[in-house]
Every structure is written in structure tokens, then in C-alpha cells.
Amino acid sequence: MTNNFPPNFVWGTATSSTQIEGAGLLDGKGPSIWDAFCQIPGKVFENQNALVACDHYHRLEEDVQLLVDLGVSAYRFSFSWPRLLPNGRIDHINEQGIKFYNRLIDLLIENNIMPWATLYHWDLPLALQLEEDGWVGAKMPELFEDYAGFCFQHFADRIKNWITINEAWVVAILGYGQGVFAPGRISNSEPYLAGHNLLLAHARAVALYRESYAPKYGGKIGITNNCDWREPATDSPADIAAAQRSLEFFLAWFADPVYKGDYPDSMRSALGERLPVFTPEEQALLKGSSDFFGLNHYTTMYASEASDEIIQGPVYGNGGISEDQNVKLSLDPEWPLTDMQWAIVPWGCRKLLKWISERYDYPDIYITENGCAFPDEIEDQEVHDPQRVAFFKAYLDECSEAIAEGVKLRGYFIWSLLDNFEWASGYSKRFGIHYVDFESLQRRPKSSAQWYKSYIQSGHR
């Protein structure tokens, strides 16, 4: 495969605060909705929690050295809102949290690694869930803007790449629709209200950054959305339309307001009054509110028109509430699966990159997460993960091909630097390119880490 990655391409890896930091209730950190969710029996695998996780909070230097050893040019991490502002508001600041992130940022810069900071990766301060009703509460966009401003004030002098919100779809559908993620709500209307508030929160944070911080420090700010590719199950017009509709309910739900100023027509016509309406001022604030297109991509499914017999009541598929979309999703039995039972379909990545490029007028795209879980084990003091190596190679080949076809792909971040707390799956799924023994907390490079290092060094940078 020809290498089409430009010389200034960003090679990185990614983590999030709840999944790796640990120190869950130490040094002034407040509780998050995930700390509470983990206490509900049956919500998380074997009732595990993230109070220790990978203990990155106490192993900061060791983990930055892993990044140095990899040779990456960037590291994507997230701030823990309740570590910085324990009750979610700027009237109660935790200096220990500020010190921790200052150490991380300074250490990255000392080692010529660009920090990419995510403001929100799902760990809402519990206080805001209890007091404001979380992301369905009307005050959340304003409170998020306050939090974002706090982070800009303390860290924007050194961080030049910002992501406001990670995977608003997951927050909305899994948190407020299906109830399998914190805060555990089940509804067929709350996801659309939560999504609306997440978008407004994003837009307000971007406006603040552009007005008060970008002129002084430079830098870019955007949002990261997740999406799986939807391939029409047949070449029938009905299935082609179903695949398009599925992509619109999954990705365009959050990308259309940012690039076009409003929700897709397919959502408006299907949802009616359940889909909130933006004011003209909000539309103006949203449109153009991302300096790049952040994409988290993992898998592909077939989409077909669903018959009335298939969908009865609210069914939550990977992409939204299925009854609203009238879409049936399926897999090709020939596709290999990861430990998450997600299909490995590299060409889906290229097709999605092209779909995004064509719909949104060829924006700069950064794949801010791509990865896979496998049941890795230590053998003779080493961890060999040939399936993960094959996964990355195949997906990067398709990324290279997409660039050749005109896609403006500017960077790629592997998920994840470390095996970690995989949300409702607890510690049962391993996505890392470094193996973590969750008893001793020892880190160990997998063969995928060695492969990624050599891939970057061999001119793919």
C-alpha cells in the first residue's frame, strides 16, 4: 500500500480521565456520575469501579515515558471536570487538580508531544446531575461554558488543540436513552434534549475560546463525534435510503448543526416535537463552530429498511433509537469480530471518511479514536496481539487510500494507550497497546505498541 500520509501528519494515542486516572476520591476530587453509577449493582461488569483504574494519577511520569518510547507526536487526554471543580461550578476550585494537569501538560511539552485536551469525556460532576438534572437541564450549556473558561484560563497558554465534547451520541443514547451508561436514564425523548444541550454547550465553549483565548494563544478547537459506517444491505433504493438515514441519526445529528446550522431533515420529520428547535441566535453560534472534524470510528454494519414486524416499541440500535429511524442493522457472518463483538471492516472507515468529506465540504479530519479489544494475555513475559496489529495496519491502509481520494485526514489517534476501565464492561475488555496488570498495575508494551512505533518511524510521519 502506498504511503499517502503527509509529513506533518499527527500520530497519537488517546485516553480519558475516568478510564485511567484512578485516585477517584483523593486530593479533593468530587464524585462523578460514573462513581455513582458503579455503585448500582449490576450496572458494571462484576460491580467493578474506576476508583483505582490504571492509577495514572500516581504514575504520570511512567505513562508519559510510554508515549516517548512510542515516538508519537501527540497525546489526547481528557480533563476530569469533578477533579478540577468538585461540585461542577467555578465557586469551588480544587488546586490539586490544577497541579496534576499542569504536571501532565508540562511533561508532554518537555518531550515534544502535543497535548490534545478533551474537556468532557462523560464524567459529569455528580452534583450537577443531582442539582441540574444533568444534560437534560436547561442550565448545563452555561455551566459547561464556565467550566471550559476555567480550563482555558489555566491551560490555554500551552494547549493548542481542544476538543469540547467526546461522543455526544454516547452521552445521549446510552446515558439518557438506553440507560446502560451513567446516569442510567431510559427514555425515547430525553436523548434528543440531552443532545441539544450538549451541542449548545459545545457552541458556547467554542465562542468563548475564539473570542478570549485564540487571539492571544492561537490554537484549534472542535468537537469529536463517533460513527460506525452503514453499508446498504442491498442495492435497493429502500436499503440505500435506510443506510443514509442511519448515518444521519448517528453522525449528522451532531455534525449537521455544527456545519449546516440545524438538524437533518430526516430527524425533524421523524421526531416532530421530540427534537428541540434552535433559535436563530443558537444556529448562528453553532454553524462553523469546529476548526476540524473529530471522528471516533470502530466498526461497520449493514443497514436495511425495517418492516413493522421487526420494530415494536423503542429498540436501541448502535446509532440511535431504531423505531425512530425504521432501520434494521446486521452483520456479515464472514466479518471477524473483536472482543466487543464489533466487526472488523477496514473499508468502512474509508467510506465513512469520504461520506463526511462530501457532506461537509472536505473539512480537516482527525481520527481521534480507532482501536479494538482482544483478550490479551502475558506469555513468557510478553504480550503478543497480532490481531490488533492486523487491525491497525488494515485501517491505516484505508486511511491512506482515503487521503489519495481527496480526504483531508490530518491525524490519527490509537485507542488506547493503556488497557483501562472500559465503562460498563469494567476491566473485562482490553483496548490498550500497553497491557496493564490490574493487580500490580504494571504496564507492559504489547507487540502492537512496537508495531506502531516502527510504523511511525518508517516514514509514516
Strands (E), 259-393: 293-296, 300-305, 316-317, 320-321, 327-330, 365-370
In a domain, 116, yes or no: yes
In a domain, 236, yes or no: no
Instruction: Give the chain's domain count.
Output: 1
In a domain, 300, yes or no: no
C-alpha cell at 83: 477533579
Which helix (DSSP H) or strand (DSSP E) does residue 410 occupy?
strand 409-415
Mean pLDDT, the chain, whole residue set: 96
- How far the first Cα of the chain sits from its last, in Å, is 15
| 3-state secondary structure (DSSP) of residue 74 | strand
| 3-state secondary structure (DSSP) of residue 182 | coil
pLDDT digits (tens, 9 = 90+) for 107-140: 999 999 999 999 999 999 999 999 999 999 999 9
Which helix (DSSP H) or strand (DSSP E) does residue 285 occupy?
helix 280-286
Return the residue matching grid coordinates 451532531.
254
Q: Residue 113: its pLDDT value, please?
A: 98
Q: Residue 317: its pLDDT value, please?
A: 54
Q: Residue 322: its pLDDT value, please?
A: 67
pLDDT digits (tens, 9 = 90+) for 285-316: 999 999 999 999 999 999 999 975 444 444 44
In a domain, 389, yes or no: yes
User: Residue 318 pLDDT > 60, yes or no?
Assistant: no
Rg (CA), the chain: 21
Torsion of CA 130, 136, 139, 145, to 10 degrees: 100
In a domain, 450, yes or no: yes
In a domain, 279, yes or no: no
In a domain, 360, yes or no: yes
The answer to whether 440 and 425 are in contact (CB under 8 A) is: no
Distance CA 248, CA 197 (A): 18
Distance CA 404, CA 399 (A): 9
Q: Is 211 a catalytic residue?
A: no
User: Residue 177 pLDDT > 50, yes or no?
Assistant: yes
Q: Which of 21, 132, 145, 167 is catalytic?
A: 167
User: Residue 241 pLDDT > 50, yes or no?
Assistant: yes
Name the β-bridge partners of 445: 434
In a domain, 383, yes or no: yes
Residue 416 structural domain: 10-228+336-457
Q: Which of these, 352, 347, 433, 434, lies nearest to 395 by C-alpha position?
A: 347
Q: Residue 10: its pLDDT value, please?
A: 98
Which whole-number Å values give the CA distances from 226 to 168, 253, 294, 377, 444, in the listed order? 8, 11, 8, 29, 29
Q: Is 167 a catalytic residue?
A: yes
The CATH number assigned to the domain holding 87 equals 3.20.20.80
**Residue 323 — very low, low, confident or very high, per pLDDT cuts 50/70/90?**
confident
Q: Residue 17: its pLDDT value, please?
A: 98
Which has the minimum average pLDDT: 342-346, 362-366, 457-461?
A: 457-461
DSSP string covering 338-367? -TT--B--HHHHHHHHHHHHHHTTS--EEE
Q: What is the pTM of this model?
A: 0.97
Name the β-bridge partners of 163: 118, 222
Q: Which of 190, 282, 305, 369 is catalytic?
A: 369
